[in-house]
């Protein structure tokens, strides 16, 4: 709730939580190579480094990188990472999938740069989540353009996100089908990212999960060739 007025505390907390989740599924981060794709200004990369990982930030948008990105941050698009195959122990992407027009292709690139048996952490806010419309949520339930117009009326400024431009309607059921059909990853966990309980249970209920999960976290493991 305090993301707008205190982003630093909010994202530092989120980064600690995400790093705990990565460690819970993949073991200690010390010495691991972590690739953070679409990592914004680098809160997550910094947290992975604090835990001893060799973490690298790849972010296409200079404005998102901000004035003080982590050392060595690379301006790069997640569709085409300037990395060799299989270099990462952990490939990490937090809240990026709903901002790309072609999620399966984006996912393929994350898989490509992950080593066999390495972990892929992907989370996103799905469209029917109460937060699906981002800054114009929950009014997106009444239609994206209407919600955007309401945001402009209320705040006097244009919303950052526009459906079909930099925000896309990504659904949980479809995304789960897409990852389960792949033969290069196994799904270790499909769960709500933020729910402290019933996190995997809620994702098992078709229909309900689109509204109740809020944010889907997929932990994938790259299959050996």
Where along the sequence are the contacts to ligand SAM (CB under 6 A)?
Answer: 11, 37-40, 59-61, 64, 77-79, 94-96, 99-100
User: Which C-beta is closer to ligand SAM: that of 40 or that of 70?
Assistant: 40
Q: How many CB atoms lie within 10 A of CB 158?
A: 10
Torsions phi, psi for 115 (to 5 deg): -75, 155
Nearest distance in Å: CB 11, ligand SAM: 6
Nearest distance in Å: CB 40, ligand SAM: 3
Nearest distance in Å: CB 190, ligand SAM: 18
Torsions phi, psi for 35 (to 5 deg): -110, 120
User: Which C-beta is closer to ligand SAM: that of 34 or that of 37?
Assistant: 37
DSSP state of 25: H
User: Which C-beta is closer to ligand SAM: that of 4 or that of 225?
Assistant: 4
- Answer for the pair 43, 15: CB distance below 8 angstroms, yes or no: yes
User: Which C-beta is closer to ligand SAM: that of 4 or that of 183?
Assistant: 4
DSSP 80-149: S-S--TT-EEEEEEES-GGGSS-HHHHHHHHHHHEEEEEEEEEEE--TTSTTTTGGGTTGGGG-HHHHHH
Nearest distance in Å: CB 24, ligand SAM: 18
Nearest distance in Å: CB 193, ligand SAM: 10
User: Which C-beta is closer to ligand SAM: that of 33 or that of 116?
Assistant: 33
């Amino acid at each position: 709730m305090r993301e707008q007025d205190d982003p630093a505390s909010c994202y530092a907390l989120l980064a600690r939580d995400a790093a705990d989740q990565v460690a819970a599924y993949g073991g200690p981060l010390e010495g691991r190579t972590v690739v953070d794709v679409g990592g914004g200004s680098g809160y997550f990369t910094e947290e992975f480094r604090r835990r001893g990982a060799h973490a690298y930030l790849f972010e296409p948008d200079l404005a998102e990188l901000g004035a003080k990105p982590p050392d060595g941050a690379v301006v790069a698009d997640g569709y085409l990472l300037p990395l060799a195959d299989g270099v990462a122990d952990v490939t990490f992407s937090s809240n990026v999938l709903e901002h790309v027009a072609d999620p399966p292709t984006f996912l393929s690139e994350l898989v490509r740069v992950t080593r066999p048996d390495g972990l892929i952490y992907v989370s996103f806010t799905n469209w029917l989540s109460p937060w699906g419309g981002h800054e114009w949520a929950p009014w997106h339930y009444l239609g994206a353009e209407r919600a955007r117009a309401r945001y402009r009326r209320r705040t006097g400024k244009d919303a950052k996100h526009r459906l079909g431009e930099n925000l896309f309607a990504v659904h949980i059921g479809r995304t789960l089908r897409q990852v389960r059909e792949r033969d290069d990853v196994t799904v270790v966990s499909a769960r709500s990212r933020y729910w402290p309980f019933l996190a995997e249970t809620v994702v098992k209920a078709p229909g309900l999960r689109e509204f109740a999960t809020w944010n889907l976290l997929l932990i994938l493991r790259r299959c050996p060739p």
